[in-house]
Chain A
Amino acid sequence: MKLQEAKNILHNGLWKQNTGVVQLLGMCPLLAVSNSVVNAVSLGLATTVVMALSGASISPIRNFVPNEIRIPVYILIIAMLVTVVQYLMNAYMYSLYIVLGIFIPLIVTNCIVLARIEAFAGKNPVLPAALDGFAMGLGLTAVLAVLGGIREIFGHGTLFSGLDLALGEMAKGWVITIVPDYHGFLFAILPPGAFIGLGLLIAGKNYLTLRAEKKAKIINIHSANTRTA
């Protein structure tokens, strides 16, 4: 894998083809667990692990799986990996597993996982496939983190609450209270807060992309002008 290819894959996953704000795949966890940063990032990372592993394990067998049964085989492998992740989380991060428990199995049906397998891992060698899964997952995690942050600040007036669930008792003191004595804004915590927050994020991404395109155009015109002059 060339460096430029790796860069492209990362850029695609994290920004250009971001699953959260561009492809808009995998909305289920996006809306359900993004009510706090810790929940959002935890599920995002679990999805990232599953995506990287499924990319890495499906790419090498892509030529041995008959085309007709590729979907069942892919789903089988994804479901197996998700269950493995679930066992490991249950064993080594029990309190976090209690919080995220019901969402972990849903990673199987998160369409972004199968979508990347079909679009990328099924056609590419192992390393790029793993990297693509990793980058796409990380892009999703980033959006989840930002959305979780927005909803947590507006809803509870805190950041990183529940960090002790992921990192143990010592993290209890790491919660940042942004607004002291805040009475909470329920709307941000309930599902509508997720929809509106996500809408704002998509708008923000579009704005940045359009601005970058405009700038590129101006530079092009500028350089064209200097050439003719």
Chain B
Amino acid sequence: MKRLTKATLRTALNLLFFTVIGTAILAFTFNITYELIAKSEDAAKLKLISQVIPNTLYDNDLIKDTITLSASAQLGTEQDTIAYRGRLKGQPSVVVLEAVAPDGYSGKIGLIVAINYTGVISGVRVISHKETPGLGDYIDFAKNPWISQFAGASHERYPEGDWQVKKDGGQFDYMAGATITPRAVVKAVHNVLHYFEDNRAKLFAENASETKSASTQEAGKQ
């Protein structure tokens, strides 16, 4: 029994030794890379955001001016998301929201939607999707400019019933052979617009760390 304990202890210490060395090397590498990684991540975010809003629309450090939104059915999100807020001369001008279209042809479609303070959509981009390559993937701006038709869309221009693909009697183009995908995107963008209109005041509130998705109370006031 004593011999067994001794052997176990020695083996465990041996394993611990390698764990400590491994952790030390990892900590060292993390320490020399994390600043660069954070910088690249910010740059990548800004690059994506710059596709949906022209940089003349804001003059603040938009990456730092964020608000955490809790999961919302209107946004299609199941987890907290970060919204970026642009301000021009101190006045709120634009917000970038993350949203999910849950009913794509093959699963969820991740979107970012930028909306001006006045409720006009500035731009939409797909950030993740699993739609069929060559068929439903025209929603990706890298493949097709289809998604740019949302720029300038608002409830003023398109009343409620127009937020559908043309096939269903709405105003939005689609491509023959793949209508489920654009249907999902149009619906999701429309939901985001509703969310924005219901929560506008909260979205631009200064120093707010969180806004609840319970949007129905505000809906009536608008």
- Interface residue ranges, A against B (CB under 8 Å): 61, 64-66, 68-69, 72-73, 76-77, 79-80, 83-84, 87-88, 90-92, 94-95, 98, 184, 186, 189-190
Contact = CB atoms under 8 A, between A and B. Distances in A.
B33 A90 contact: yes
B26 A69 contact: no
B22 A94 contact: no
Interface string B1-29: 00000000011001100110010011001
Contacts of B14: 64-66, 69, 73
Contact of A77 (B11, B22, B44): B22
A92 B39 CA distance: 11
> 8 shortest A-B CB distances, which residue pairs?
A91-B33, A94-B40, A80-B22, A91-B36, A87-B33, A84-B29, A87-B29, A90-B37
Main secondary structure of the interface of B (DSSP, over half): helix
B22 A87 contact: no
Contacts of A88: 29, 33
A77 B133 contact: no
B40 A77 contact: no
B40 A68 contact: no
Given A68-B11, A84-B25, A87-B33, A186 B133 contact: yes
Contacts of A66: 10-11, 14
A84 B22 CA distance: 10
B54 interface: no
Contacts of B19: 76
Given A88-B33, A91-B32, A186-B132, 8 more contacts: A73-B15, A76-B15, A77-B18, A80-B25, A84-B26, A87-B29, A94-B44, A190-B133
A91 B40 contact: yes
A173 to B, nearest CB: 17
Interface string B28-57: 011011001100110110000000000000
Interface residues of B, number: 22
8 contacts: A61-B18, A73-B15, A76-B15, A80-B26, A88-B29, A91-B40, A94-B44, A189-B133
A105 B36 CA distance: 20
Interface in B132-161: 132-134
A98 B128 CA distance: 12
Contacts of A87: 29-30, 33, 37
Contacts of B32: 91
A87 B29 CA distance: 7
A184 B32 CA distance: 42
Contact of B15 (A72, A184, A186, A190): A72
A161 to B, nearest CB: 11
B47 to A, nearest CB: 10
A189 B132 CA distance: 11
